[in-house]
Amino acid sequence: MKMKEYPSLTTARPQHPSVQAFYRIRSSMEDDTMRTRTGHTTDQTMRWVTLLEVGFTPTHPASCQAELERLDIAHALFAIINQDRLHLAPLKPDLGRVLDLGAGTGLWAIEFAEAYPSAVVVGVDISPTMSEIVPPNVQFEIDDVEDQWTYSKQADFIHCRYMVGSISDWPKLMRQCYENLTPGGWVEFQDFDIDYYSQDGSLTEKHAIRRWLVLCTEAAAKVGRTLHVGKHLEQWVKEAGFTNVQVVKVPVPIGPWPRDKRLKRMGLVNWTQIFEGLQAVSLRLFLNVLGWSQPELESLLVEVRQDMKNREIHSMYDVYTVIGQKPKAQTG
């Protein structure tokens, strides 16, 4: 029996290449019920996806433009996951200093600064990938968050998102967050637990996407990284000394296979950011770490892409949000 796939694209828009890529993938994945409506909307994710479709894309001073735009798509994914909330921690309106670890292109920091004009938001990333046009209360710094922190002032809120595979010592990072928070301040971590599964048994160990994931996990471990970050966040946060710890786990579909409209959109955006990053992630892990040849990798990726386009595979993974509070200073 012929495998059911998402319909292929028949037209392309004359846009920036990265936007064409997003539109091509989106068009090849969705059905007519997923078409974005024109007009005004208060949904930030709908606005972002619509801007992508009509040709808007931010300009970043970096050579790896496609990867940066994939990070912007990931920002749209988190907006859907969090129902358009920039944070889950119960923050006071008159925040002072805020740290955004792994700021990427800076979208979260910029939106947060606009929502909290009294705050000074400092976005930190190891690469110079941030937007150059920012609100006056946003600062960006190029630094490695795993190095010793030298901040002279503590923060009221520390935000860290989408750092899976980037951190070698998570407990150390948690301790540094604790030390650099004001008493009563909050920390919030949001990250994936990259272990694809299906609730209906449609994804099995025989599928190429599962084989690919097992090999990615093996390669990451060889360089001191874990792809299973989400499920450990709660433990690490508690061990660092935080109290009032709360956990939210959200199953996130890969592809627009759910019937629910919100989950369908979530799955589409998630599918896009995974598909866009598939080649880059695989090149680093398979060629540089596992010692595969380019033809061997390309052969596997052909099968992985086929699995990702297969409507009958209902894959997903879990995204965790963990918040914690530094105990307030003792009085009296």
Residue ranges per domain, the chain? 1-197+226-273+316-327
CATH topology of domain 1-197+226-273+316-327: Rossmann fold (3.40.50)
Q: How far apart are CA 324 and CA 206, in angstroms?
A: 39
The predicted-structure confidence for 104-139, as pLDDT tens digits, reads as follows 989 999 999 999 999 999 999 988 877 778 899 999
Which residue is listed with tokens 């994939």?
70
Q: Which helix (H) or strand (E) holds 161?
A: strand 155-161
Q: How sure is the predictor about 191, in pLDDT bands with cuts at 50, 70 and 90?
A: very high
The answer on pLDDT for 85 being more than 50 is: yes
The answer on pLDDT for 35 being more than 80 is: no
Q: How far apart are CA 209 and CA 304, in angstroms?
A: 5
The answer on pLDDT for 77 being more than 80 is: yes
Q: Does residue 189 contact residue 160 with C-beta atoms inside 8 Å?
A: yes
Percentage of the chain surpassing pLDDT 90?
A: 70
pLDDT of residue 4: 40
Averaged pLDDT, 180-192: 97
The answer on pLDDT for 6 being more than 60 is: no
- pTM value? 0.81
Averaged pLDDT, 38-57: 34
pLDDT of residue 64: 64
Task: Classify residue 185 by its DSSP letter.
Answer: E
Rg (CA), the chain: 20
242 three-state secondary structure = coil
291 three-state secondary structure = coil
The predicted-structure confidence for 49-70, as pLDDT tens digits, reads as follows 433 333 333 333 333 677 778 8
- Of 25-34, 91-100, 171-180, which gets the smallest average pLDDT? 25-34
Q: How far apart are CA 174 and CA 167, in angstroms?
A: 11
